[in-house]
Each structure stands twice: as C-alpha cells, then as structure tokens.
C-alpha cells in the first residue's frame, strides 16, 4: 500500500466515489481491498455518508462527552461494582450492560470507564520482563545452509591500545563458509559507527538473510519494546531478520566466538600503539584467515573457497517497510507514541517516525506490527496495548 499523502476526509470521499461509481460486478469488499481499508471501516463510512452526506465524513472528536472527574459518584459506584462482579469484562461490555439495565442513567463513554477502572486499580497491564519482551529474536537459530544465509556480528572484547585509548573491534562473519567479512577497530560501540561499517560490508558483499548477534548495545536495547534498537530496525528495513543468541549462552554463536579466540591471540597480544596501526594488523590477519589458512571445519578448505557474494545487493535508498493492502497504517510520533481510534499509547522510541500496521483479528482487537515483526495487540474494549512480539515473515 502506498504511503498516504491525502487528508483523512479526502480519502473517505474518494472511497465513497469509488463505491458509488464502481463497475457492475465489483463488490464493496473489493473496493475496500483496493483502497487498503477494512470492510468494517468501509461500511462505517458508507453509513455516515448516507446519514449526513459529505459533511459527515469530517473527523469527529474522540473526547469523552463526560470527563471522568465530572461523573456522578453513583455512576462511578455502579461501574466499579459491576467490574468487581465481573473482573474479566472490559469497558465496552460494562457500559452495554449498564445501559441495558439502567437506560435512564447518563453512562460515560467506554474510554472514560477505562480511566475509572485504572484509577480504582481494577485495570493493570502486566509488565513483561526484559527477557520475555526480547524472546522473539532468539530460541530457534537459523541453520546456515549456503553463503549469506546467516551472518554473525559482535563486538569482540575491548582492549587498551599502547597510546591509551580503547579499541572496540566490530566483527562480521558468514557462518556457512566461516569467511570473515570485517574486523574494524572502532573507538566505541555507538549505533552510528556500527551502521556505517555494516553499510560497507553490505555494499561489498550484498545482504544476508539473517544477522545473529548477542543482546547488547548496539544490537539490542534492553529497555525498548522487544529489545529493538536503531540498528535492528534498519536491518528490518533492508529485509534482514535480526536474530539473537539466548542471553548468557555465547555457545549459540560458537563459530564466531572461536574466530574471536584466534583473532585475539594473533592481533592483540601485544596491542598496537594507535587505532590506525591496529587496523592494519586486523586487515592483514583477515586476509590470511580467509585466503591462506586452511579451516578444519571445512575439511581443510579456506573460507574464501566456500564464500560468494549475496545476490541481494545493497539498495541506494533504504526501502520502506512493506505492508499488505488490507491493513491500516499509523505513523509513530517522534516521542514513540501512536494514536488508534483517538487513543494514544506508547510503543517505543526506536520506532519514532516509522509506520506500523493495525489489522483486525477479532472483535475490537487489533494486531499491531512493524513489517514482519508483530509487536502486540491493541484492545479497543479496554483501551490497552499488550506487547507480544513474534516474527512473521508472511506479513510482508
């Protein structure tokens, strides 16, 4: 679906025009699919147009008719009593039952009832642990069956140069061929530096399917949604799946760790005087490791004998994340918030200014996704977002 550049009202009027002037045999459902909206939303717009014409297609205020602080105590007591009687009921169900049983009372909107429940401590979102939130990226490790199936990336332990500053070697290798793609001595582990050196590798060797790392910075952000980082978000844009080893289990990246042992023994003891001199040692070592040194795991072959560049070239411009036509898109604000049905909720600062999708999966429940990465579920009934991350490539 192309990014929306027209106003919401003009989009709705264009949909009405397409429905009213659709060719014989074309259903409303087909028009909805072609314009990238759900059938439920399409029928809602048609009902509004039939009732009020073009003027009815303007945005409507989502503010509650009765603010929570102005609700009569008797109404508050009735809402809380019914919730305590039925603790699994959401705001919409509570409101519907109260309206049916006591139609003369001015019952507030469902969003206001949600506010009342939160104030009373009757609606508390369960906070997931950092390990739970990042588990989408590990658990099942991809088997490397060809070059560029899986790359490994890591920062080998930092060490002090003879002149005083620290060197942080960023390493990338192809796990199928054991080919060392890069060993770059950096002055720190900032995401910008890692992205620049990854770009050099992508331009030279093409793009892998998967990049496997540990969970630390800059590959992951422990406090962010799903442990996402700016670097992993960039990889997803490029069609690369970020894959992480289980925390505390470096043996899951054994091939790369074994290469680190050789790198340390042959290039850092003793360390060079400057970063430039150390980089020259890294470059000579990488050439020897790839081109001359026989590898036991390869039956004596050299990594260069098994490696070939990826057919997926690095694009000149970072592509947009792809979405199917039937989902609705919302842009995450610079503060990491997204608005849905007039309700703002926080996703993650690393997704700032990105587009995420909303796909209805059940009555009043919507799956929120960033491309192939499902982020969680938004419930319109309780006005809450529950993170539940999962990698689903078929969503692309």
How far apart, in whole angstroms, are the C-alpha atoms of residue 161 and residue 186?
12
C-alpha separations of 192 from 223, 228, 239, 362, 370 in Å: 19, 15, 19, 40, 22
pTM: 0.71
Residue 8 clears pLDDT 80, i.e. is over it: no
- Using pLDDT thresholds of 50, 70 and 90, give the confidence band for residue 61: low
Query: Which is nearest to 136 in space by CA: 381, 379, 370?
Result: 370
Q: How confident is the model at residue 5 (pLDDT cuts 50, 70, 90)?
A: very low
CA–CA gap between residue 44 and residue 191 (Å, rounded): 45
- pLDDT for the residue 374: 93
Q: What is the DSSP letter of 367?
A: E
pLDDT confidence of residue 331: 95
Which tens digit of pLDDT belongs to each residue from 192-218?
Answer: 889 999 999 999 999 999 999 998 889
Mean pLDDT of all residues belonging to the chain = 87
> Of 104-118, 181-195, 323-337, 363-377, where does mean pLDDT reach its minimum?
104-118
Residues found in the chain: 396
Q: Which residue has the higher pLDDT, 200 or 342?
A: 200
Instruction: Name 88's Cβ contacts closer than 8 Å, sequence gap at least 6.
Output: none
- Cα 343 to the center of its chain, rounded Å: 20
Distance CA 72, CA 98 (A): 15
Average pLDDT over residues 369-386: 88
């Amino acid at each position: 679906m192309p990014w929306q550049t027209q106003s919401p009202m003009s989009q709705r009027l264009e949909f009405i025009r397409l429905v009213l002037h659709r060719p014989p045999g074309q259903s409303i459902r087909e028009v909805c699919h072609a314009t990238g909206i759900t059938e439920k939303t399409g029928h809602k717009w048609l009902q509004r147009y039939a009732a009020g014409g073009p003027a009815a297609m303007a945005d409507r205020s989502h503010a509650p008719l009765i603010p929570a602080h102005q609700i009569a105590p008797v109404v508050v007591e009735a809402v809380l009593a019914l919730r305590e009687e039925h603790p699994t009921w959401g705001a919409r169900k509570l409101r519907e039952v109260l309206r049916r049983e006591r139609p003369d009372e001015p019952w507030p909107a469902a969003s206001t009832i949600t506010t009342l429940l939160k104030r009373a401590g009757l609606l508390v979102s369960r906070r997931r642990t950092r390990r739970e939130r990042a588990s989408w990226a590990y658990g099942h490790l991809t088997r490397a069956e060809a070059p560029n199936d899986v790359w490994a990336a890591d920062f080998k332990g930092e060490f002090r140069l003879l002149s005083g500053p620290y060197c942080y070697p960023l390493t990338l290798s192809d796990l199928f061929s054991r080919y060392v793609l890069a060993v770059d001595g950096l002055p720190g582990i900032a995401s910008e530096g890692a992205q620049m050196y990854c770009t050099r590798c992508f331009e030279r060797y093409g793009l892998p399917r998967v990049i496997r790392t540990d969970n630390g910075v800059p590959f992951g952000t422990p406090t962010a949604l799903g442990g996402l980082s700016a670097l992993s978000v960039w990889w997803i844009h490029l069609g690369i799946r970020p894959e992480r080893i289980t925390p505390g289990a470096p043996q899951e990246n054994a091939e790369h760790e074994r290469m680190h042992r050789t790198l340390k023994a042959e290039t850092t003891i003793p360390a060079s005087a400057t970063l430039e001199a150390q980089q020259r040692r890294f470059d000579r070592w990488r050439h020897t490791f790839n081109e001359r040194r026989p590898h036991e795991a390869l039956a004596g072959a050299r990594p260069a004998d098994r490696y070939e560049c990826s057919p997926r070239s690095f694009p000149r411009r970072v592509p947009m994340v792809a979405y199917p036509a039937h989902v609705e898109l919302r842009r995450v604000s610079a503060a990491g918030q997204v608005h849905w049905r007039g309700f703002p909720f926080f996703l993650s600062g690393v997704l700032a200014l990105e587009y995420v999708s909303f796909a209805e999966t059940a009555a009043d429940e919507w799956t929120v996704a960033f491309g192939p990465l499902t982020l969680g579920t938004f419930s319109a009934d309780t006005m809450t977002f529950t993170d539940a991350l999962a990698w689903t490539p078929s969503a692309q």
